[in-house]
Amino acid sequence: MVATLFDFNGVLVDDEAVHLAAFRAVLAPLGITVSDEAYAERYLGFDDVGAFRAILTDARTRATDEDVSRLVAAKVPEYMARIGASLVVFEGAAEIVRRRARLGTVGIVSGALRHEIEHALGVLGVAREVAFIVSAEDTRACKPDPEGYLLGVRALAERGVTSRVVVVEDSLAGIEAAKGAGLRCVAVAHSYPIERLREAGADAVVPTLADLDDRTMDGGR
Question: In this predicted structure, what is the pLDDT of residue 28?
Answer: 97
| Helix (H) or strand (E) segment spanning residue 106 | strand 106-109
210/136 same-domain check: yes
50/8 same-domain check: no
97/192 same-domain check: yes
- Could you tell me what percent of the chain has a pLDDT over 90? 87
Per residue in 143-180, pLDDT (tens digit) is 999 999 999 999 999 999 988 999 999 999 999 999 99
116/146 same-domain check: yes
Output the domain CATH number for residue 43: 1.10.150.240
Note down the domain range covering 76.
Answer: 16-84
pLDDT of residue 220 exceeding 80: no
61/95 same-domain check: no
Q: Where are the alpha helices (DSSP H) in 28-171?
A: 36-38, 48-58, 65-84, 93-103, 114-124, 147-158
106/77 same-domain check: no
Per residue in 1-37, pLDDT (tens digit) is 899 999 999 999 998 888 999 999 999 999 999 999 9
63/158 same-domain check: no
102/55 same-domain check: no
29/121 same-domain check: no
Per residue in 193-210, pLDDT (tens digit) is 999 999 999 999 999 999
155/111 same-domain check: yes
- As for how many domains the chain has, the answer is 2
Report, in angstroms and rounded to the nearest whole number, the Rg of the chain calculated over CA atoms: 17
> How many Å apart are CA 187 and CA 204, to the nearest integer?
6
94/69 same-domain check: no
9/25 same-domain check: no
**The model's pTM:** 0.88
